[in-house]
Amino acid sequence: MLRAAAAEVATKHARLATSALHGVLAVNKPPGISSAGLLDYLKRNIGLDSSCFPFSEHFAREQKLRAPGTKLKRPHSMSQLRVGHGGTLDVEASGVLLIGINRGCKHLDKFLKGGKTYLANNCLGVTTDSRDAEGHILNLSNTKHVTHEMLDGVLPRFVGSIQQTPPVFSAIKMGGKRLYEYARKGQSAPEEIKARTVLVDQITVTHFENPGHETSGRRVALPRGVSEYFAQGRY
């Protein structure tokens, strides 16, 4: 009883101390957890020491929350810490996520005005409902004929100012809900998802490998927005 009481007092003191914390953190988000899920963990544990909740257990809980048919509802946090994140990374994406703490949240916009660089693996011949590797496969196509020369020929179409339509599995709000909330329930968006202007400075080809060819070419990072390349599916 005494140990439990002492731990509770220590936790309260630690949470009071966090009210004096202000700043911006650069956190390396691992794949498999959403940006909101990582933010929830930080809000609950910044300022704590031995009573800090293990990240592995939080990660496992987030996995259960994202299971099909599960309502995404996290336990209420007693923390008075104000936290926010600048930009959003997909669940399966890893990379730098800017986290604002208390008054630091007001400064997040200052760090989001520059460009962004992405490194991605792309699979040609597979179409999914979410347009990424997380979704359900809708179509499989033969891509043995695809060569790196063909990719080189089509890449310029996706450089510069282009129109890109977000997928229904996105965090864009419509009708008071996130689009992915409709998608997870098998519902259509309440209105047409409008294309957005996206500026792509360059697409750098690093490596390509076609299992159907004896020789290898280069794999590319292509922006989303077109449902098919070379009349084939992809994600």
CB 235 within 8 A of CB 126: yes
What's the distance, CA 93 to chain centroid?
Answer: 5
Helix (H, G, I), strand (E, B) or coil at 164: strand
Partner residues linked to 208 by β-bridges: 217
**CA 52 vs CA 15, 36, 80: distances in Å:** 12, 18, 16
Q: How many CB atoms lie within 10 A of CB 216?
A: 12
For 110, residues 6+ apart whose C-beta sits below 8 A from its C-beta are: none
| Amino acid in position 127 | T
Structure tokens at 44: 């609950």
Residues recognised as catalytic: 90
